[in-house]
Amino acid sequence: MGFLGDLLRTPDAQSDPHHWAATFMAHRDVGLGLWAVAAMIIDVWTAVILVSVGYLVLWEGAQLWRAARQGKRILPAAWDGFLDTVALTSGCYAAACLVKGLWMDAIFCGFAMLIVISVGWAQRAGRQTR
């Protein structure tokens, strides 16, 4: 399964700040792609909601269920799933804003993502220096 398999098997790999930031942005890009497909079929804003909630329930819910079955700690898995969903949703929301001409909202969303990435990166970089 390659890169995805490594992420699913070794969540500790996300302690590397560069890896974490890249993975976070990849979730945003996956959201953008899924949203684009859904937006071709349904309304732009409905696509944001369905893709975000569907991802949270189906994908992250399955990962949380898997972690529970393997006896892993649930809170870190839930937090990771929440952050992944935030990234995915931001990709959906920014794309919908651009389609509807809400340029400032899309730009604000991009800057909010940079703030989250900066904080996450700095936190992980600080752990590596200890």
Q: Hey, where are the domains in the chain? A: 23-118
Angle (CA) 16 17 22, round 5°: 100
14 band by pLDDT with thresholds 50, 70 and 90: low
Q: Which helix (H) or strand (E) holds 121?
A: helix 103-129
* CB distance 49 to 88 below 8 Å: no
Q: Is residue 68 scored above 70 in pLDDT?
A: yes
Q: Is residue 109 scored above 60 in pLDDT?
A: yes
For the record, the structure tokens of 5 come out as 């398999």
Based on its alpha-carbon atoms, the radius of gyration of the chain, rounded to whole angstroms, reads 16
User: Which pLDDT does position 12 carry in this prediction?
Assistant: 52
Average pLDDT, integer, range 72-101: 90
CA distance 117 to 130: 20
119 band by pLDDT with thresholds 50, 70 and 90: confident
CA distance 26 to 87: 8
Average pLDDT, integer, range 57-66: 91
For the record, the structure tokens of 67 come out as 């972690």
Q: Which residue has the higher pLDDT, 31 or 13?
A: 31
- What's the mean pLDDT when you consider all of the chain? 85
pTM above 0.85, yes or no: no
* CB distance 88 to 51 below 8 Å: yes
Q: Residue 83's Cα: distance from chain center in Å?
A: 6
Average pLDDT, integer, range 16-44: 89
